[in-house]
Amino acid sequence: MSWNNRIKIAVGAARGIEYLHCKANPPVIYRDLKSANILLDNDFNPKLSDFGLAKLGPVGDNTHVSTRVMGTYGYCAPEYAMSGKLTLKSDIYCFGVVLLELITGRKAIDTSKKHGEQNLVSWSRPYLKDQKKFSLLVDPLIRGCYPRRCLNYAIAITAMCLNEEANFRPLIGDIVVALEYLASQSQNWSPESRNVEVCNASQSSPMRSEKGTPHQSNSKRG
Q: What is the per-residue pLDDT across 69-94, written as a single tens digit (0 to 9) for each?
A: 566 889 999 988 888 788 899 999 99
Kindly indicate the confidence band of residue 207, based on its pLDDT and cuts at 50, 70 and 90: very low
Kindly indicate the confidence band of residue 68, based on its pLDDT and cuts at 50, 70 and 90: low
What is the pLDDT, as a whole number, of residue 80?
85
Q: Would you name the residues annotated as active-site residues?
A: 32
Tell me the percentage of the chain whose pLDDT exceeds 90.
57
> What is the CATH classification number for the domain harbouring 82?
1.10.510.10
How many domains does the chain contain in total?
Answer: 1
Identify the domain containing residue 160 by its residue range.
Answer: 3-218
Q: 198 has which bridge partners? A: 147
Please give the angle made by the CA atoms of 51, 105 and 182, to the nearest 5 degrees.
80
Instruction: Please return the burial class of 202, using the count of CB atoms within 10 Å of its CB with bins 0-12, 13-18 and 19+.
Output: buried
Please give the angle made by the CA atoms of 152, 39 and 178, to the nearest 5 degrees.
30
Distances from the Cα of 7 to the Cαs of 28, 64, 113, 183, 187, in angstroms? 24, 30, 26, 6, 10
Kindly indicate the confidence band of residue 221, based on its pLDDT and cuts at 50, 70 and 90: very low
